Amino acid sequence: DVKVTQSSRYLVKRTGEKVFLECVQDMDHENMFWYRQDPGLGLRLIYFSYDVKMKEKGDIPEGYSVSREKKERFSLILESASTNQTSMYLCASSLFQGRNQPQHFGDGTRLSIL
């Protein structure tokens, strides 16, 4: 069974801090994704990666960056956290081949920026 692990379930940070959210998957998936989930807005894609060191912007990349140095790990970075980045962050992974393959999600990180 695929396991996607996010480093923290809950995180509280202060404005201006640099914040790292880590995600690790154990199924050798090529694709990894970072979403932000807000009530009434659903899931919005921040960034995704289809290979090591490769990344593509999603719908809301502003204020975020990502890093993928190893295939199993995909990090989301808030360069200078702001209160409007308070949200639930979901990491997901999927196979590159086989378009009918679903995404597998982590438990999410609820991030509060004070």
Partner 1 sequence: AQTVTQSQPEMSVQEAETVTLSCTYDTSESDYYLFWYKQPPSRQMILVIRQEAYKQQNATENRFSVNFQKAAKSFSLKISDSQLGDAAMYFCAYRSAFGNQFYFGTGTSLTVIP
Q: Which residues bind partner 1 (CB under 8 A)?
A: 31, 33, 35, 40-43, 45, 48, 50, 58-59, 90, 92, 94, 96, 99-100, 102-108
Nearer to partner 1, 17 or 51 (CB): 51
Least separation, in Å, of the C-beta of 109 and partner 1? 12
DSSP 3-state assignment of 85? helix
Tokens read off for 89: 């962050």
CA distances from 109 to 58, 88, 97 (A): 19, 6, 28
CA distances from 83 to 71, 90, 110 (A): 31, 18, 13
Least separation, in Å, of the C-beta of 71 and partner 1? 15
Least separation, in Å, of the C-beta of 9 and partner 1? 9
